[in-house]
Structure 1
Amino acid sequence: MRSVDHTSFVIHRMLNGEPARCFRAFSQAEAKRQWFSCDERMETAEYSLDCRPGGSEINRVRLLGGEDHLYLAHYFDVVPDHRILFGYSMHVGDRRLSASLVTITFQPRGEKTLMTYTEQVAMLDGLQEVEERIRGTELGLDNLERKLPQL
């Protein structure tokens, strides 16, 4: 059955590091690749990141013997150390699960950074529940927090 469910969610994280470090973790390919996964069993088949207005990101991963999971992003607005705005779609095999608009902001809080992640998402055809998307995003951000001191 064809359907579209629209929703949004916001995640706030107080990150250990100044905004420039936190921004780099999202905007530089080698840094982002180290933490950007919701499942450590996933193997990367393809990854690229060009975090600038008009740039794109591709992350193709798979579980052993499983279908490809594909994340395709397009960057609309990037203000170094302050804001990233992009749209992305998620696919499993030949099925598109969703399309989203994401805004990430970085606000200094002493030696830390308040990161606010806001996602507006269209969940397509009942192929994924929003709770699963939120949990996957939170798991990725948990990885970011663990790896941020090394980035």
Structure 2
Amino acid sequence: MTAVAHTSFVIERDFLASPARVFRGWSELALKQRWTDCHSDLAGRTHTLDFRPGGSETVTMRFPQGGTCVVRFHYFDIVPDRRIVYGYAMELDGRAGSVSLVTVEFAPTPAGTRMVFTEQAALLEEGQDLAERIEGTREGFDRLARELEPAPARP
């Protein structure tokens, strides 16, 4: 039997966009797909989103070398433009990999929005790399920032 590794991490990120705009990055399927799509070489991907308290989200990724990753989300609390609380479970080839509770908070700043992302995770599979999980989350937020950047002014 493998021991469960419990961990948590916090990522704070400033965006040059209003809380409403940053929140939309989480609530609108097309936008969320663009910034969460971290594997450009997938053999297939499906993504559904029912963004409401009690709603769910499912992402299924099939890798070209074989194997499938399924991530299932459940939304517990949503306060538009202020807070999202959800849980998610990740499966790799039908085996439970991890289970997490996440809180995302949005606060206005003079330049836009401060987002605070807090994840509490139970890593169920031996060999999971917390540093890799944190880096992948940060990379996703970099893609979100690019999605939210204002369009360049036209001459």
**Alignment TM-score, normalising by the size of structure 2:** 0.90
The one-letter code of the counterpart of 2:3 is S
Q: Is residue 44–residue 63 contact of structure 2 (8 Å, CA) maintained in 1?
A: no
Q: CA deviation at 1:50?
A: 1.2
Q: Does 1:70 align with 2:70?
A: yes
Q: Is residue 106–residue 116 contact of structure 1 (8 Å, CA) maintained in 2?
A: yes
**Alignment TM-score, normalising by the size of structure 1:** 0.92
Q: Is residue 37–residue 143 contact of structure 1 (8 Å, CA) maintained in 2?
A: no
Q: Does 1:34 align with 2:34?
A: yes
Is the deviation greater in 35-44 or in 64-73?
35-44
1:94 aligned partner: 94
SS at match of 2:136: helix
Counterparts of 2:93 and 2:138, CA distance in 1: 23
SS at match of 2:149: helix
Counterparts of 1:96-115 in structure 2, within 5 Å, are: 96-115=96-115
Q: CA deviation at 1:148?
A: 1.7
Q: Could you list the runs of 5+ residues in structure 2 that have no partner in the other structure? A: none
Change (3 A) 1:106 1:137: same
1:13 aligned partner: 13
The superposition leaves residues 91-143 of structure 1 with CA deviations (integer Å, 9 ceiling, x where unpaired) of 12122210000000000002410000000000003141211211111111111
The one-letter code of the counterpart of 2:41 is R
1:82 aligned partner: 82
Q: Could you list the runs of 5+ residues in structure 1 that have no partner in the other structure? A: none
Counterparts of 1:88 and 1:53, CA distance in 2: 14
The one-letter code of the counterpart of 2:132 is E
Change (3 A) 1:55 1:44: farther
Q: Does 1:124 align with 2:124?
A: yes
Counterparts of 2:34 and 2:146, CA distance in 1: 10
Q: CA deviation at 1:43?
A: 5.1
SS at match of 1:42: coil
Change (3 A) 1:44 1:15: farther
Is the deviation greater in 136-145 or in 117-126?
136-145
Q: Is residue 22–residue 113 contact of structure 1 (8 Å, CA) maintained in 2?
A: yes
Larger gyration radius, structure 1 or structure 2: 2
